[in-house]
Structure 1
Amino acid sequence: MDEEVLVYEQDEVYTLPTSQDELSVSGKLRMIEKRHGVVIEWRCSDDETSADSEWAVINTAAVTFTHHNVSDSVEIATPRRNVRPISIELIDLRSYKIGDDGSLVLIQRDGTTHPALAFHSGSVAFFVEVLLRYVAVKNSEKDRNLYLVSDKRQATQDNELSAMNLVPERRGPGANWAGGGAGHAHWSNTQQRVWGFINNLKRDPYTTTISTLSKFYDAVLYNDVEGSVRENDCEDDVAELFHSLNGFEDLEPGYELLTKKGTLSERPSVDRLAPMTHDDFQQFVDDDGRVLEVDLLNQRIFRGGIHPNLRRELWCYLLGYNEWNGTFIQREEKKRERENFYFTMKQQWKTISEDQENRFTGFKERRSLIEKDVNRTDRNHPFFEGEHNPNVTLLHDILMTYVMYNFDLGYVQGMSDLLAPILYVTQHEATAFWCFVGYMNMVYRNFDMDQSGMKQQLMDVHQIVRVVDPELMSYLEVRDSANFYFCFRWLLVRFKRELNYANTLRLWEVLWTGQPCPNFHLLVAVALLDTERNTIMENKFGFTEILKHINDISLRIDLEATLKKAEAIYRQIASSPNVPDSVRTVLGLPPQENPKAPQPQQTTKKNTDAEVQPEGNGSGDGNEGGADADMASGSLVSVVSSMIGSAVRHLSGDDLSIVTLNVAAEHEEEEKQFEAALSHQFV
């Protein structure tokens, strides 16, 4: 039996609820020395939960609605406790976050991100004090709440190297470095990248050496073309060089170095409103029931969403079931017609005999898939939980009727996720069906058999991130994650599995307004990535770790903050010059009137726009001697840097025949990665 020593224990450490449907769960946080290493554990203190339980859901007051309920839609809060024990070997702990409220989030090396823990007694500071006995901790430069964990021996070696001053601090006159400040921090960051390079050299000297030489040779070969541009910002080249060295970020042919910022306007701040109430809505309705000033109404819904008591009525407009300019009488007539049509289609599949179904393979397969999916859709929600729930039967019947309505598309996994909230809000079978038809008309490309619609959206996210956050884009490129497959589930079911029910309903109605652009859901994805960028980059997550981390942040997303950030990104792009027309088209913006003329060096080296700087920045005035010295030093690094990339390109053969040979293999590998992401994230 292993000898164990308890070195830390704290009672009354609560999980923070991720939605209104959850309760905080009290537990004990421990740190235990075992023979094989130190382990951090959190266990629920409730006797109802066993120590080896992987996941327990305790629901004390289930509430079930049926389709007979025709009252206004309301949010249902049900006491529920989600209990997930935590057990982490200290060697697997990559970082942790301490929130402004003193909460603790533990993040593992494989990307696993555990729920936030709140200390109702004691303090997180004592936990950190004990943790420091075993590991070294460093505060992130980019996120003041993030702390990076490393081995003490490795941290000591890094400090010893830093103390040798092999890369001294910048002194003397210099354009951007004089007087310390931001420049000093920039140079200090470059020093840290040098040590990262040295660590890489120790781990894999061959790969690091080849990677480094390629970058130096690239600078020499292209110096005559780009020298006049690059000499103006030689200090940036130094930081840029070591940024690329830290992690074997090889410059492949056509690689776009995207570490320059300043091409976008400043991101504005955005405020949101309270949900639209019934009194607010009545201001847009005339005496006959026609809705006036639809654009203004949509803008109002976009800015604050809809109050739950009004949601059922307005969703019918947003999803096309009711026409904005229809009167009360016209809406009632159309409602009766559509109900009759719905039940006629329902009878069509209801009356298919077993003998017919045996000769109707497509229908039989779709029925089987619907039955499987319906039985696992939102069964923890009070509207669908419990055995023999009539609402689950309604979900099944509506999806089967949609198969008869649109047999070409039929049923694809994920559709039940889109229908369930609509049925919950409308609580009427035929109304839910026609609203679902309206939603499917918006997102049917998500369910293309070849996944072309989804892949196009992922490419659109790629383009937006490339403009909004080139540093993150560079990071994802070199870690084979620029395909954004980890966003697949976000886009497929419109973040429904990432948010609790109340937030899902709020987000969907905001998206259905089409404001401020038709693809606002892509900006929501970009905003979420912007929120998680520092955690991803500081922890050096690769594709698998990013995928795991993205899955783990589900139900812990601040929707209002995300919507503010997404709208701010839209305004930032809309007000910025020189944004590619491809991005403007995705966001419904008009093309630029005077697009920037292509630079001559584009014909020599691909993707060099990011390196072009505005002329006459004035930073060298009055300091020509010091600036010249700095330029000479920076140019030398630039020359050596460029030399290696070109050598590698030369040796690898940057010609069409070799590139063509590699395309098939790369495409095959990309498809495998896509299928892996699909299976891990959604199925």
Structure 2
Amino acid sequence: MGNCPSELLQKKKEPKQLQVKRKPPIDKTEWDSYFDENGHLDKSRDFICLNILERGLHPSIRTEAWKFLTGYYSWRSSKDERLMVDNTRKKNYEALCEMYEKIQPLLENLHRNFMETRNNISYDIQRLYDKDPLGNVIIDKKRLEKILLLSYVCNTEAEYQQGFHEMVMLFQLMVENDHETFWLFQFFLQKTEHSCVINIGVGKNLEMLSDLISFLDPTFAEHLKGKGAGAVQSLFPWFCLFFQRAFKSFDDVWRLWEVLLTGKPCRNFQVLVAYSMLQMVKEQILLESMNGEDIIMACNNLIDLDADELISSACLVYAELMQKDVPEPLKEFFQ
């Protein structure tokens, strides 16, 4: 298993009592200081990832940092090499768009799944709220729809699922160009081991979440297996959207996602996040002896969360795990 911030290991409070004093995020001045005159990183990948876990990224550098975190850029690349990569990614994206235009009639005529998926994407996009609090349009729905369709056609591992439109929207808000949105999303899925994909990683997440509850909190586990039967399995939207709807702002979503990309303090950190969220409603669930439907409702009411507090809570769970004789399946999952 990986490392956890030392100050979190020393905390004794329960997650819900945490008062997180976050250090200032990595800003542009500090980020620029990580590179030598040729644009090679002077700092190690571990150093940068641990700092992102503990501090986060300033919005001004998030796009560039995410290109390293996702694998869009190599950690060993120079500035000139990154310019070449950007150019190549753009050309490859344009080639994919041309290919799609050519095969679209064939897909429409021969593949029923394509028509169904295209209709689902169109429906999801139309329902998507595209304005900021001042009423300004912040996303281009046509461009978003095109990227989602292209992703569906090109990504054989991750078929389109409801919620992808909300995830890709956040990538579109982060970067300027469509090719960046497309490739960052593809690399994000790969880097997170397709953990948000229903037919790949979501089931495993739910299985490991159940095992984690049984190991760390047997009393709660018994209630969930009894009156709360099926409740944990019904939490799949948390993983499908990587908790996007639980936060108070897009910045909080990006904050958690960039931690997931670091692989710190461990792999599959999203399950520790889900466990921490369940702990927030545990007292209410047990006190009111809630059944499955009520438990799901209580979990769905977890909104406007603060990412730093949740990350700190999940790190505390990880610290607790490190002090125990963890069953092999859990150990392998998180190491």
Q: What TM-score results when the alignment is normalised by the length of structure 2?
A: 0.86
Map 1:3-402 → 2, pairs under 5 A: 268=12, 272-291=22-41, 292-352=43-103, 354=105, 357-381=108-132, 386=137, 391-402=140-151
Residue 456 (1) aligns with residue 207 (2) = no
- The structure in which a higher percent of residues are strand is 1
Q: Deviation of residue 282 (structure 1)?
A: 2.5
**1:526/1:566 contact within 8 Å kept:** yes
- In 2, the alpha carbon distance for the partners of 1:341 and 1:452 equals 26
Q: Deviation of residue 516 (structure 1)?
A: 0.6
C-alpha deviations, 1:207-250, integer Å up to 9, x for none?
xxxxxxxxxxxxxxxxxxxxxxxxxxxxxxxxxxxxxxxxxxxx
User: 1:417 is matched with which residue: 166, 170, 183?
Assistant: 166
Q: Name the CA shift for 1:526/1:296 in 2 (closer, same or farther; >3 Å).
A: same
Look up the SS of the partner of 1:487 in the other structure.
helix
User: 2:280 is matched with which residue: 511, 514, 531?
Assistant: 531
Unaligned runs of 5+ residues in structure 1 are: 1-264, 589-683
Code of the aligned partner of 2:168: L
Code of the aligned partner of 1:280: E
Q: Deviation of residue 381 (structure 1)?
A: 4.2
- In 2, the alpha carbon distance for the partners of 1:286 and 1:267 equals 37
- In 2, the alpha carbon distance for the partners of 1:280 and 1:519 equals 28
Aligned residues: 318
Residue 431 (1) aligns with residue 180 (2) = yes
What's the counterpart of residue 5 of structure 2? none
Q: Name the CA shift for 1:385/1:393 in 2 (closer, same or farther; >3 Å).
A: farther
Residue 579 (1) aligns with residue 329 (2) = no
Q: Deviation of residue 308 (structure 1)?
A: 0.9
C-alpha deviations, 1:269-323, integer Å up to 9, x for none?
6864221111222232111111231110000001111011111111111111111
What's the counterpart of residue 306 of structure 2? 558
- In 1, the alpha carbon distance for the partners of 2:307 and 2:96 equals 38
- In 2, the alpha carbon distance for the partners of 1:384 and 1:514 equals 37
Structure having the higher Rg: 1
What's the counterpart of residue 37 of structure 1? none
Code of the aligned partner of 2:206: L
Q: Deviation of residue 268 (structure 1)?
A: 4.0
C-alpha deviations, 1:416-453, integer Å up to 9, x for none?
122111110112211111101101212435435xx463
Q: Deviation of residue 354 (structure 1)?
A: 4.9
User: 1:476 is matched with which residue: 224, 247, 261?
Assistant: 224
- In 2, the alpha carbon distance for the partners of 1:324 and 1:276 equals 17
- In 2, the alpha carbon distance for the partners of 1:266 and 1:356 equals 57
Look up the SS of the partner of 2:160 in the other structure.
coil
- In 2, the alpha carbon distance for the partners of 1:355 and 1:566 equals 48
Code of the aligned partner of 1:418: M
**1:268/1:572 contact within 8 Å kept:** no
Look up the SS of the partner of 2:245 in the other structure.
coil
**1:383/1:424 contact within 8 Å kept:** no
- In 2, the alpha carbon distance for the partners of 1:486 and 1:421 equals 25
The share of aligned pairs that are identical, in percent, is 23
Code of the aligned partner of 1:582: P
User: 2:197 is matched with which residue: 423, 447, 452?
Assistant: 447
Q: Deviation of residue 366 (structure 1)?
A: 2.3
Q: Deviation of residue 566 (structure 1)?
A: 0.8
What's the counterpart of residue 94 of structure 1? none
C-alpha deviations, 1:612-657, integer Å up to 9, x for none?
xxxxxxxxxxxxxxxxxxxxxxxxxxxxxxxxxxxxxxxxxxxxxx
Q: Deviation of residue 483 (structure 1)?
A: 5.4
**1:267/1:569 contact within 8 Å kept:** no
- In 2, the alpha carbon distance for the partners of 1:504 and 1:383 equals 21
Q: Name the CA shift for 1:331/1:508 in 2 (closer, same or farther; >3 Å).
A: same
Residue 570 (1) aligns with residue 318 (2) = yes
Q: Name the CA shift for 1:558/1:365 in 2 (closer, same or farther; >3 Å).
A: same
What's the counterpart of residue 43 of structure 1? none
**2:231/2:296 contact within 8 Å kept:** no
C-alpha deviations, 1:349-373, integer Å up to 9, x for none?
2344657622333332222222112
Q: Which moved more, 1:314-323 or 1:349-358?
A: 349-358
Q: Deviation of residue 508 (structure 1)?
A: 0.8
What's the counterpart of residue 515 of structure 1? 264
Q: Deviation of residue 390 (structure 1)?
A: 6.3
- In 1, the alpha carbon distance for the partners of 2:317 and 2:206 equals 17
- In 2, the alpha carbon distance for the partners of 1:509 and 1:408 equals 22
Look up the SS of the partner of 2:140 in the other structure.
helix
- In 2, the alpha carbon distance for the partners of 1:443 and 1:379 equals 29
**1:278/1:310 contact within 8 Å kept:** yes
- In 2, the alpha carbon distance for the partners of 1:380 and 1:485 equals 33
Code of the aligned partner of 1:528: M
- In 2, the alpha carbon distance for the partners of 1:490 and 1:363 equals 26
What's the counterpart of residue 168 of structure 1? none
User: 2:246 is matched with which residue: 489, 492, 498?
Assistant: 498
Residue 466 (1) aligns with residue 217 (2) = no
Code of the aligned partner of 1:327: S
Code of the aligned partner of 2:88: E
- In 2, the alpha carbon distance for the partners of 1:353 and 1:472 equals 51
- In 2, the alpha carbon distance for the partners of 1:503 and 1:391 equals 22
- The structure in which a higher percent of residues are helix is 2
**1:271/1:564 contact within 8 Å kept:** no
Q: Deviation of residue 329 (structure 1)?
A: 0.7
Look up the SS of the partner of 1:375 in the other structure.
helix
Look up the SS of the partner of 2:244 in the other structure.
coil
What's the counterpart of residue 217 of structure 1? none
**1:496/1:504 contact within 8 Å kept:** yes
- In 2, the alpha carbon distance for the partners of 1:435 and 1:457 equals 23
**2:139/2:172 contact within 8 Å kept:** no
What's the counterpart of residue 87 of structure 1? none
C-alpha deviations, 1:111-132, integer Å up to 9, x for none?
xxxxxxxxxxxxxxxxxxxxxx
Q: Name the CA shift for 1:521/1:384 in 2 (closer, same or farther; >3 Å).
A: farther
**1:378/1:385 contact within 8 Å kept:** no
- In 1, the alpha carbon distance for the partners of 2:193 and 2:165 equals 13
- In 1, the alpha carbon distance for the partners of 2:153 and 2:24 equals 40
Q: Deviation of residue 397 (structure 1)?
A: 1.3
Look up the SS of the partner of 2:127 in the other structure.
coil
